[in-house]
Amino acid sequence: MFSTRTRWDLQPNPLSILLARRRSQGRELLDLTQANPTLAGIPYPEDLLAPLAHADGLRYEASPFGLAAARAAVSADYRRRGLRVPPEHILLSASTSEAYAFLFKLLADPGDEILVPRPGYPLFDFLATLESVEVRSYPLSFDGAWHPDLPALRAAVGPRSRAIVVVNPNNPTGAFLKQDELAALQEMCAERGLALVSDEVFTDYAFGDDSRRTASVAGDGPALAFALGGLSKSCGLPQLKLAWTAVSGPERLRTEALERLEVIADTYLSVSTPAQLALPVLLARRDALATPIRARILSNLQALRARLADSPATLLAPEGGWYAVLRVPATIGEEERVLRLLEERNLLVHPGYFFDFPHEAHLVLSLLTPADEFCEGLERLRADLE
């Protein structure tokens, strides 16, 4: 009766089972996986949602790419970063997950392949499967910093490959794409007839400056490219459900992509009118909204470096984003360690295998956790490691 696309193993894993049991017992847990800014004690201005009450929100206007004023606001935000993206090259969606779904529909037939980074975002498999698309991973290598393994990526491209996905900065490693890496990726995509899809939701959360980094794939380039962003991370407003895709590359390919995307988007028309009307005001307040998030992240990162400096854990040098990856002794397995932390120390962390790290042992922590909870969690983690 049911589609093979939804034939998942729905049995809860041991960590989920133990977590549910601990919560049902009323245990006070320290959650170092909290990455929802609206639940992490981030302060928001009291008047922030006032623009959602715009009188024009009572009128519905079907606009496949999104309202002109909203797309102009996104275009202006790219201009803030030194990038020229005309409003007519921008498509709004309800989320970056929906943007991926649109792009997989646009680029791939059932059974075609999308190449995604490993380690990386665990939702890719689900998003691709729901579009009947296959996922093939390519490795990120670590030599004191994370890099896409370009020779391995070239070898992974097959006859049914349709796009290469990058996450800039990567989730969860926090590595930014460098300019020479982007040039190599664009050349590879142009040669092989592939699209380049760049998830850039964490781009504004960089740890320091680095002239080697690339801000975005948006702009002139030899390959068809799609840059994804959204309110969820840029303004810490996931509940407003508004994201965007900037389309760039050779004019012929860009024009055809936009024409086809218009039909796809017109089929769904999923973006809320009040959210679109509020977007110019919200993006104008972007710095003020991101500042407390950035302060929390940097404070927790500093605490992490200080409290685990002489411990058996090694921080794998993030360049940005909301997460930190720790390499820990592989004396026990990741699953055994996270279960022990939860059972014995009431501490919740992500195991590395959630993000498809190729080998053990890694733990992933959210830097968005409230500072006092984060520091207490680090003490418990250090005690377990020692």
The count of other CB atoms within 10 Å of the CB of residue 214 is 20
Q: What is the mean pLDDT of residues 61-74?
A: 96
Per-residue pLDDT at 215: 84
Least Cα distance to 232 among 37, 33, 31, 34 occurs for 37
Q: What is the mean pLDDT of residues 16-33?
A: 90
Average pLDDT, the chain: 95
pLDDT digits (tens, 9 = 90+) for 218-261: 988 999 999 999 999 999 999 999 999 999 999 999 999 999 99
Question: Taking CA 149 as the corner, what is the angle to CA 144 and CA 154, rounded to the nearest 5 degrees?
Answer: 170
User: Which residues pair with residue 244 across a beta bridge?
Assistant: 92, 229
Does the reported pTM lie above 0.75?
Answer: yes
**Mutual angle of helices 286-307 and 273-284, in 10-degree steps:** 70
User: Which residues pair with residue 342 across a beta bridge?
Assistant: none
Q: For residues 80 and 233, what is the distance between their CA atoms, to the nearest angstrom? A: 17
For every residue of 306-347, DSSP letters joined together read: HHTTTSS-EE----BSSEEEEE--TTS-HHHHHHHHHHHH-E
pLDDT digits (tens, 9 = 90+) for 314-364: 999 899 999 999 999 999 999 999 999 999 999 999 999 999 999 999 999
Q: What is the mean pLDDT of residues 184-191?
A: 97
